[in-house]
Amino acid sequence: MTLGFVVIGCFMLLMMLGVPVTIAIGIGTVAGLFWANLMDFSLVFPQQIIEGASKPALLAIPFFILAGNLMNAVGMTDKIFNFALALIGNVRAGLAYVNVVASLIFAGVSGAATADIAGLGQIEVRAMRKRGYSHEFAAALTVATSLVGPIVPPSISLIVYAWLANESVARLFLAGIVPGLLVAASFIAYIRVMCVFQEMPREEPRSMASIKNAVLQGVPALVAPGIILGAIIFGFATATEAGVIACVYTLLVGLAYRVLTFDMLWNSLKESALLSALIMMIIGASQTMGWLFAFEQVPQAFATGFLDTIDSRTLFLVFVVVLLIVIGCFMEATPAKIILLPLLLPAADAFGIDRVQFGMIITLALLIGIATPPMGVGLYLMSAVSGVKFERLSIAVLPLLIPPVVALILITAFPIITLWLPDLVMGPANR
């Protein structure tokens, strides 16, 4: 256990000093290798980085990133927003509801919160400001609703969890549908309550011709999630192949809309390559830390300590939720998951917690950190996109964290929310 404290303590110290996460993981791991007297780390470190980043299951990640960037490039985000506006815009606080629904639809295509913020962020904030919403509220709501992205399939975060926990991607994707709808519903309920206590703008009625045009333009975006999820669930494609299908489908839509250009394609490829390389470097460096923990049997010692200290499943889940929300405030979700999951999973297995449900709890708890100061990456990105100062955005987003926290509590307390749909479609897993 001492090794674990050395590695994680060194890592957290470097993170607080502002060192980039990949370098912090690497230095923390090297410190652990010295502590464990594994002097031949010059061979271990690069080997584990390559092994961690070259897993076949992770090939889906760059394709879904590319699909999200292509959709932003060809204007599918505008069409998603217009469709949601035509569907529910003509009510009090209509654009606030549209913000939630548009994020839910876009989540079914991109699988990443940052893609949601970058794609829909400018459109939603600009439209809400034009209709009289405060700049801070519009930006904060967009950040908060982006949390739906990594829960609703296809989800890059769930692909990473499936690789770490040796779980079925299809089962995890199915498990994310109801929790994703629950998070979206919690935001809608929150907005409805806000309407009681403060005045919210009402959208002007739209003509039937305008609504019909918006629906027809939005159909291609609505079809994409069904194609992707159906291909995986019914065995027509793996998660990686589904990512390729998403990219090809988006290219065809761009050609059909006659908006796709070579520059758009090239810029999307460059942005996707850069982000994919960053994620794979984080995964590779985290793999080295995971290997060191496994070699020194840190997870087993950690689980034994849990079982000796905490003898209640409920208390364990409460501890995990609080721990992950706090860690998510200071650390990105992917490295946090890679580092903590080997430590927490044996204890979760000992308490009889289903790995699919545990994956949803971990994913949502860490996601809340995206919109939580001081390290919330979503806040920094939205600040850059919207022009709202980070400090003002950090304060405005705090009340909007209530809906996802309530949803997280419900998902943690009632496993059926997560497990009902995968058990219905694929049959109960061997638990």
Q: Measured between alpha carbons, how far is 320 from 263 in angstroms, rounded to an integer? A: 45
Token pair in block for residue 260: 């796709």
Residue type, 96: A
The residue with tokens 């990512």 is: 243
- Residue 26 has, within 13 A of its CA and on its CB side, a CA count of 14
Neighbours of 265 (CB within 10 A): 17
Overall size of the chain counted in residues: 431
> CB neighbours of 415 closer than 8 A, spacing ≥ 6?
354, 357
pLDDT at residue number 89: 59
Phi, psi of 27, rounded to the nearest 5 degrees: -65, -40
Neighbours of 51 (CB within 10 A): 13
The residue with tokens 């060191």 is: 292
Contact 58, 159 (CB under 8 A): yes
3-class SS string, the chain = CHHHHHHHHHHHHHHHCCCCHHHHHHHHHHHHHHHCCCCCHHHHHHHHHHHHHCCHHHHHHHHHHHHHHHHHHCCHHHHHHHHHHHHHCCCECHHHHHHHHHHHHHHHHHCCHHHHHHHHHHHHHHHHHHCCCCHHHHHHHHHHHHHHCCCCCCCHHHHHHHHHHCCCHHHHHHHHHHHHHHHHHHHHHHHHHHHHHCCCCECCCCCHHHHHHHHHHHHHHHHHHHHHHHHHHCCCCCHHHHHHHHHHHHHHHHHHHCCCCHHHHHHHHHHHHHHHHHHHHHHHHHHHHHHHHHHCCHHHHHHHHHHHHCCCHHHHHHHHHHHHHHHHCCCCHHHHHHHHHHHHHHHHHHCCCCHHHHHHHHHHHHHHHHHCCCCCHHHHHHHHHHCCCHHHHHHHHCHHHHHHHHHHHHHHHCCHHHHHHHHHHHCCCCC
Q: Measured between alpha carbons, how far is 73 from 328 in angstroms, rounded to an integer? A: 30
Packing angle of the helix pair 377-386, 135-145 (nearest 10 deg): 140
Token pair in block for residue 429: 């897993």
pLDDT at residue number 374: 64
pLDDT at residue number 416: 92
255 burial (CB, 10 Å; 0-12 / 13-18 / 19+) is exposed
Closest by Cα among 160, 149, 228 to 183? 149
Q: Measured between alpha carbons, how far is 236 from 252 in angstroms, rounded to an integer? A: 20
Q: Pick out the chain residues at pLDDT < 70.
A: 1-4, 21, 38-42, 52, 57, 89-90, 107-122, 203-207, 294-308, 330-331, 374-377, 429-431
Q: What pTM does this model have? A: 0.78
pLDDT tens per residue across span 38-48: 656 667 777 77
pLDDT tens per residue across span 90-108: 677 777 888 888 777 776 6
pLDDT at residue number 348: 86
Distances (CA, A) of 404 to 129, 186, 400, 407: 24, 7, 8, 5
Q: Measured between alpha carbons, how far is 416 from 344 in angstroms, rounded to an integer? A: 21
Beta-bridge mates of residue 92: 202
Distances (CA, A) of 223 to 15, 87, 163, 178, 253: 41, 16, 27, 19, 11
6 burial (CB, 10 Å; 0-12 / 13-18 / 19+) is middle
